[in-house]
């Protein structure tokens, strides 16, 4: 038997994927604080405890959603960094705009990916860690390269520099998605200021 979604069979056929899809939609629509397993099950048309056969608990579901978010973001970041016709500085510019743009466009997903719901209570799945950790590791590697190119200060320790530059993007992203910077209309200008502060002009 194929995946007979939407048929009136007792077994759903592809419940795990359907749950992930619906949960991702609901997350974007109503925010993480309004995402409940019961409403999710209802939306998919299944009983309230059915999801427990595919996810150990709510946390595992959230981790699985976040995992997809990281994959999506990595894809976007890679495509920016792969542009060979751009100068290093321009690539960094676009990376910054891309990072904060991703957060602004997917605020609830960003909150889930980098929020305390998952990381504070050490609740991250191994599988999520495997996808998420390279994200920061890569930031360190790139920072080292940018330092070697003279794009960023060589006076600072690479790890600290990476932490501070990532921290800056993260901080601006959070101020936006948490409603503290209520006005989204100056995002680009903030990104430009950020780049100006961290990145030197270099000849290539």
Partner DNA sequence: AGTCTAATCTTGACAGCGTCAACATAACAT
Partner DNA sequence: ATGTTATGTTGACGCTGTCAAGATTAGACT
x/- binding map, residues 145-164, to DNA, per CB under 7 A?
A: --------------------
Instruction: Report the alpha-carbon distance of residue 184 to residue 149 in Å, rounded.
Output: 33
| Binding partner of 52, given a second copy, DNA, none, CB within 5-8 angstroms per partner class | DNA
Scanning residues 144 to 183, which ones bind a second copy (CB under 8 A)?
153, 155-157, 160-161, 163-164, 166-175, 177-181
Stretch that binds DNA, among 49-57, 83-91, 134-142, 182-190 (CB under 7 A): 49-57
Instruction: Report the alpha-carbon distance of residue 13 to residue 1 in Å, rounded.
Output: 9
Instruction: Report the alpha-carbon distance of residue 76 to residue 45 in Å, rounded.
Output: 33
| Binding partner of 160, given DNA, a second copy, none, CB within 5-8 angstroms per partner class | a second copy
Scanning residues 102 to 141, which ones bind a second copy (CB under 8 A)?
111, 114-116, 119-122
Cα 95 to chain centroid, rounded: 14
Scanning residues 21 to 80, which ones bind a second copy (CB under 8 A)?
31
Is there binding between residue 58 and DNA (CB under 7 A)? Answer: yes
Stretch that binds a second copy, among 20-28, 62-70, 84-92, 185-193 (CB under 8 A): 185-193
Instruction: Report the alpha-carbon distance of residue 46 to residue 73 in Å, rounded.
Output: 31
Region for 181 from its dihedrals, namely left if φ exceeds 0, alpha if ψ lies in -120 to 50, beta otherwise: beta
| Binding partner of 30, given a second copy, DNA, none, CB within 5-8 angstroms per partner class | none
Q: How far is CA 157 from CA 38, 138, 162, 166, in A?
A: 48, 16, 9, 14
Contact 192, 80 (CB under 8 A): no
Stretch that binds DNA, among 29-37, 125-133, 150-158, 170-178 (CB under 7 A): 29-37
Minimum CB–partner distance for residue 90 and a second copy (Å): 19
Rg of the chain (C-alpha set): 20
């Amino acid at each position: 038997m194929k995946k007979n979604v939407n048929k009136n069979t007792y077994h759903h056929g592809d419940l795990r994927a359907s749950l992930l899809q619906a949960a991702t939609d609901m997350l974007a629509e109503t925010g993480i604080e309004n995402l409940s397993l019961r409403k999710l099950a209802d939306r998919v048309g299944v009983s309230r405890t059915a999801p427990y056969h595919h996810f150990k608990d709510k946390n595992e579901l959230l981790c699985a959603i976040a995992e997809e978010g990281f994959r999506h973001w990595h894809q976007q970041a890679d495509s920016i960094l792969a542009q060979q016709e751009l100068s290093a500085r321009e690539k960094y510019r676009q990376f910054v705009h891309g990072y904060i743009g991703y957060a602004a466009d997917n605020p609830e997903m960003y909150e889930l990916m980098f929020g305390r719901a998952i990381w504070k209570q050490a609740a991250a799945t191994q599988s999520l860690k495997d996808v998420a950790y390279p994200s920061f590791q890569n930031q360190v590697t790139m920072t080292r390269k940018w330092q070697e190119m003279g794009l960023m200060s060589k006076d600072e320790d690479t790890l600290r520099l990476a932490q501070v530059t990532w921290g800056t993007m993260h901080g601006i992203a959070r101020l936006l998605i948490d409603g503290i910077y209520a006005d989204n209309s100056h995002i680009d200008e903030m990104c430009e200021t950020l780049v100006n502060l961290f990145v030197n002009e270099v000849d290539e």
